Amino acid sequence: MFYMEGALLKSSSVFPYFFLVAFEAGGLLRVVILFLLYPIICLVSKEWGLKIMVFVCFVGLKEESFSIGRTVLPKFLLEDVGNEGFDMVMKCGGTKIAVTDMPRVMVECFLKDYLRIDSVVGRELKVVCGYFIGLMEDQNGSKVEGEGKMDSSIIGINCLNSSLHYELFSCCEVVYLVSEADKNWSALPREKYQRPLIFHDGRLASRPTPVASLFMLMWMPFGIFLLLVRAAFFFLLPYKLSMQFLCFTGLKGTLIVSDDGRKTDELKRLGEDRGVLFVCNHRTLLDPIYLSMALAQVRSPSQRLVTVTYNLSWVSELISPIKTIRLTRNREKDSKMMEKQLKQGDLVICPKGTTWREPYLLRFSPLFAEITDDIVPIAIDFHVSMFYGTTASGYKFLDPAFLLMNPTTHCSATILEKLPKSFTCQGGKSKLEVANHVQALIGKALNFECTSLTRKDKYMTLAGNEGIV
């Protein structure tokens, strides 16, 4: 049995996780109220501070649709796990029981799915007519799952300043205490995750500590102004000038090609009778902007450039500098459409079919492999400083707004070698082999791990649907 905040996490403060619940599930008003109450939360007792945060963050939320504990919080909790604390917990054999001050609905998925903890003892929230009322059940009602199957000798790991769970730890034969001075721990490396963190959602890109939260709230008015300025200059200025302005305001990009210039010359000579198929991974909605900038340096300015996509909000389609064509999900129709576009110019396709954040690649759809042999992979990586501009369960029309509100972003596009004929369908490879080979090339260039998961898996996990807009 171990106390999660004191024996596993590097920081004992639970404020950032309640801030995430308020921001992702409650809205900006809850965020402001919670932040303004933070001094009071620090002054009152630990139990009353917890009650205040629970009430502000949960009152009025629908129990059935609350998914933050499954889709958002695991990422930030995993990043806060101490490597030494994790090793200490894992060395204890038998049934592992986590005790936490936070509501169980916030941490159960993180502990059971990502750390393989057997049981979680947390606070239960009161529900009336399917809605949280912002109150917690009596702490004495907390029970351990499988209590009758527990070992007779129980080892407990607690912290010195924890008094909320005295009764639970009093049944332990031995209790090891961890002080805050002892918690000079390093972060848990990804290799030790009991389950890889592949799917996660939410808008905030970094852990909202009180200082980071203050900076974010102070930045938001200026961020909205910067969003409007960036959008206005993008639409009003000529394309090349608007790209320079966006770069000046913090939206930077890097193009990586071969040093000797032979790759650039080869790309310029390709597609004299038809276009080139550029196959890339998909990171954000700004990918078309950076792709157009990158390809303008290696392709003829007169070469027509079109991108095909599965889903794209009308706002994203409006700001894209590349003409976008929607796929119908009918393989025969989509194949004919892409062949037609290649006869008119270059074509960009993202065979993953969805944006992605973590260092993994979803399975590539093999449709592109049978269309042409002139295939050039492009590896795209993207980093934001404050907000993610993608979501699976939120309002997708706000994706460009959050992305353009970032103080800075950075995109790197690496143009890889054109596929040799021996690795194409005409060279004897199947379309699945070609798709998997391109996925592996991009994964190697980015140091990302390739998976067999699809966009459907992503949306079913994060949003409970198949991702059809």
State yes or no: pLDDT of 252 exceeds 90.
Answer: no
C-alpha span between 424 and 273 (Å, rounded): 19
In 301-439, the DSSP E strands lie at: 305-309, 323-326, 346-349, 360-361, 375-384, 409-415
- Per-residue model confidence as pLDDT tens digits over 133-175: 999 987 654 555 545 445 556 777 777 666 555 566 767 777 7
pLDDT for 149 equals 47
**Average pLDDT for residues 90-119, to the nearest whole number?**
90
pLDDT at 38 over 80: yes
> Quick check: 469 pLDDT over 90?
no
Please return the burial class of 349, using the count of CB atoms within 10 Å of its CB with bins 0-12, 13-18 and 19+: buried
Is residue 73 within 8 A of residue 20, CB to CB? The reply is yes
Q: Which amino acid is at 346?
A: D
Of residues 203 and 282, more confidently modeled: 203
Kind and range of the H or E element at 132?
strand 131-136
Give the whole-number percent of the chain exceeding pLDDT 90. 40
CA distance 337 to 432: 20
Measured distance between the N- and C-terminal CA atoms of the chain, rounded to whole angstroms: 45
For 376-432, what is each residue's pLDDT tens digit?
999 999 999 999 988 888 888 888 899 999 999 998 988 888 898 888 888 888 999
Average pLDDT score over the chain = 85
Per-residue confidence band for 41, with pLDDT thresholds at 50, 70 and 90: very high
Residue 269 scores a pLDDT above 90: no
Q: Which alpha helices (H) appear in 184-283, and where do they start and end?
A: 210-236, 239-248, 262-269
Candidate from 305-309, 413-417, 448-452 with smallest mean pLDDT: 305-309
Q: Are the CB atoms for 447 and 359 separated by under 8 Å?
A: yes
pLDDT of residue 261: 52
Between 62-71, 167-176, 210-219, 384-393, the lowest mean confidence (pLDDT) is in 167-176
Q: How confident is the model at residue 5 (pLDDT cuts 50, 70, 90)?
A: confident
With H, G, I as helix, E, B as strand and everything else as coil, classify residue 356.
coil
What contacts 6, CB < 8 A, 6 or more positions away?
12, 157, 158, 159, 161, 162, 178
Question: pTM value?
Answer: 0.88
Is 94 within 8 Å of 9 (Cβ atoms)? no
Tokens of 234: 């993008």
